[in-house]
Chains A and B, each alone.
Chain A
Amino acid sequence: MRSSTERALRRVDAVFTRLFGWRYHPLHQTGTVAVALLVVLIVTGLYLLVFFRVGTPWASVARIVGDPYLGRWMRSLHRFASDAMVVAVLLHALRMFAQDRRWGPRALAWISGVGLLLFVFVSGWTGFVIVWDEFGARLAMAGARLFDALPILSEPVGRVFSGERPIPGAFFFVNLFLHVAVPLGIAAGLWVHVSRLARPVLLPPRILTWVIVGGLWALAVVAPAPLAPQADAFNLPATVPVDVFYAFWLQLVERLPSWGAWTGALATLAIATAIPRLTRRPREGRYAPSVVDERYCTGCNQCPQDCPWDAISMVPRTDGRASLVARVDPSSCVSCGLCAGSCAPMGVGPAHRTGRDQLHEIRALVQTGLQPGGAPITALLCEHAPDSHGAALARAGARVQHVSCTGNVHTSAVELLLRNGSAGVIIFSCPPRDCRGREGPKWLEQRLYHDREAELQPRVDKRRVHLATAASGDLAGTVGAYHAFAHSVAGLGSVEVHGDLADVECVPTPVDARRRRR
């Protein structure tokens, strides 16, 4: 059952797939785009830092802007990248919310993400203040009003801006310090944000990175951000150029009493951080964590390597056998089921989704009419793939079987399908950067074609197996991939798989009762 937010996201995704293709789909990688923009901000910020003067902030920025060759577009790039970063982070949060990736083991990432967004706003705030133009002064005064409502400072900060005396350099120094230090906090927060991931991907594909950076650079050159007039305590400008990405709240906050603004901000923060708690699901059924059947575990150490959340570790056995045994930490397991595909003896995975369960399902499928000879092609489709794709594949003649994630698919299940009448097996995964299990298509591709542990056995004709992508908005691509595969399979003749299926399904090692007692 898909939520309304997920359905809405799917529709937007479909449009973007058509516009940009699934490989460079910007909405699939909003998080990594935000990190790429952070890198741009750090690089351009270091340049600007060299020329910024705490004693004469506005004049020094005016000098930077006056340099038509480098300074002007460096500052504009810094400004536009910071705006784009807010958009990227908000879209990332929205996407994670819509895709139900916000609770359980992902709660840490969600909560740290809320903190990171707060840091981004604080960093942006201080960045605008140190320029000390009319907008910066407006932000500073709004902030001073909020801080003065708290009984923590001996003297109201607002008096600094009254015009009685020049604004002390210490004020700009503190803001500059925060503007440099907070991004360091963002880097530390980013480490926490991805700390539960085994192999976090931090940057978007190179082409997308350069397109985004190049686009921002072109914008900075063609339409640089102008510098507003210097702030003057005794001059109230009728019109202030406002950066809506960082100051969308300004107009509201200026009209609210300080306590109202604080209450609103704290309530928003509390709700945002409570979302994982408020929307969590019971850890059962679809959301049950993986379990290890120790009878089958050979201690091969593959599932800990494949787990994208570092939820599996190898521990000494208690049944007396010499090898180690896998153990799943339920508090880290997101129930992606990738371990089910990685375990050659099929001893690990979420309940009802292990390799053995897949084999049982296929046997049931076989009994319902999959006949050897002239059999249809089986299309294994990720359950997150659009429904229309499944229907279109069925219309095209495929026997469609849904799987929780293509990364769960055990290669033995593929082999069993071929042994039992499927002329070929085509597996449709989500776009790799949009896989809920993070690494499903990657590991499956390696198991199918590159002999990664739990590999597709050499006796299977790999020409009869194909891995494709089913992306929202690319129905033609999905159907086209199916037809191309069906055409290639048609030229291969009948299915021949040598060897015995017993080789595929690992026989459990009987446990020595005497040793177990010891």
Chain B
Amino acid sequence: MTTTSWWWRVGGAGVGLLAAVGLRGGSLIPWRDRSADAAHVRLSWSARPERVEHCRRLRDDELAQLPAHMRLRVQCDGVLARYLLAVRVDDTVVASDTLRGGGLRHDRPIRVAGDCATCPRRCRIDVASTRAHHRW
């Protein structure tokens, strides 16, 4: 038998009440993480990356070394392009990224999905996606 005084029992009820209040409060904490006039630019599109090819004409002696069924005068190696994404707000870059095709071999479509913060006023927003220079 526990010897608990009346005051402790009242305290127990108080702790129970406090736990209930804590539960209610903790389940609905108003979380203010941006000012009311925040502005974001949402980027969302998909595109198939271009294939960049580097071709050259084979010399006669190079052709002769190949099996007959593989003798093509022009031989091309290719990769899928990468793009440089830049988001400018009034000529200030606020976000930049390198875009590559999806998948482990980057041979799937490029998909862009994301927000970037900007300023809540009239401004000029420039979103540019330019093909990255590919070094052979």
Residues of A with Cβ closer than 8 Å to B? 17-23, 79-80, 83-84, 87, 148, 151, 154-156, 158-159, 162-164, 211, 215-216, 218-219, 223, 225-226, 233, 236, 238-245, 250-251, 254, 471, 474, 476-477, 480-481
Q: Which of B3, B15, B33, B113 sits near A480, CB closer than 8 Å?
A: B3
Docked Cα-Cα span, A17 to B35, in Å, equals 46
Against A, the Cβ 8 Å flags (1 = close, 0 = not) of B104-116 are: 1000100101100
Which 10 residue pairs are nearest across A and B when measured between Cβ atoms?
A162-B44, A19-B12, A21-B2, A158-B113, A242-B31, A238-B36, A476-B3, A159-B113, A156-B113, A477-B3
Task: State how many angstroms separate the Cβ of B47 from the closest Cβ of chain A.
Answer: 13
Q: Which of A79, A154, A163, A242 sits near B102, CB closer than 8 Å?
A: A154
Q: Verify B42–A225 contact, CB threshold 8 A.
A: no
Q: Which of A80, A156, A211, A481 sits near B23, CB closer than 8 Å?
A: A80
**Given known A-B contacts A156-B113, A163-B42, A471 and B2 have beta carbons under 8 A apart:** yes
Docked Cα-Cα span, A17 to B1, in Å, equals 11
Q: Verify B3–A84 contact, CB threshold 8 A.
A: no
Q: Verify A83–B31 contact, CB threshold 8 A.
A: no
Q: Verify A155–B34 contact, CB threshold 8 A.
A: no
Contacts of A18 in B (CB 8 A): 4, 8, 11
Docked Cα-Cα span, A480 to B1, in Å, equals 9
Q: Verify B24–A80 contact, CB threshold 8 A.
A: yes
Q: Verify A245–B27 contact, CB threshold 8 A.
A: yes
Docked Cα-Cα span, A303 to B1, in Å, equals 30
Task: State how many angstroms separate the Cβ of B13 from the closest Cβ of chain A.
Answer: 9
Q: Nearest CB to that of B34 among chain A residues?
A: A238
- Number of contacts between A and B (CB, 8 Å)? 111
Q: Nearest CB to that of B16 among chain A residues?
A: A215
Residues of B1-55 at the interface with A, using a CB-CB cut-off of 8 Å, are 1-4, 8-9, 11-12, 15-16, 20, 23-24, 26-36, 38, 40, 42, 44, 46
Q: Which of B4, B20, B29, B108 sits near A215, CB closer than 8 Å?
A: B20
B67 interface contact, C-beta 8 A = no
Docked Cα-Cα span, A9 to B136, in Å, equals 66
Q: Chain B interface residue count: which class?
A: 35 or more
The secondary-structure label for the interface of chain B is mixed
Task: State how many angstroms separate the Cβ of A224 from the closest Cβ of chain B.
Answer: 9
Task: State how many angstroms separate the Cβ of B127 from the closest Cβ of chain A.
Answer: 14
Q: Verify A244–B29 contact, CB threshold 8 A.
A: yes
Q: Verify B103–A159 contact, CB threshold 8 A.
A: no
A17-B4, A83-B27, A243-B26 provided; 17 other pairs, C-beta below 8 A?
A18-B4, A23-B2, A80-B24, A84-B23, A151-B103, A154-B108, A155-B111, A163-B44, A216-B23, A218-B20, A236-B38, A238-B34, A239-B32, A242-B29, A244-B29, A474-B4, A477-B2
**Given known A-B contacts A19-B8, A474-B2, A79 and B31 have beta carbons under 8 A apart:** no
Contacts of A239 in B (CB 8 A): 30-32
Task: State how many angstroms separate the Cβ of B61 from the closest Cβ of chain A.
Answer: 43
Contacts of B36 in A (CB 8 A): 238
Docked Cα-Cα span, A488 to B36, in Å, equals 74
Q: Verify B113–A245 contact, CB threshold 8 A.
A: no
Q: Verify A244–B27 contact, CB threshold 8 A.
A: yes
Docked Cα-Cα span, A274 to B104, in Å, equals 32
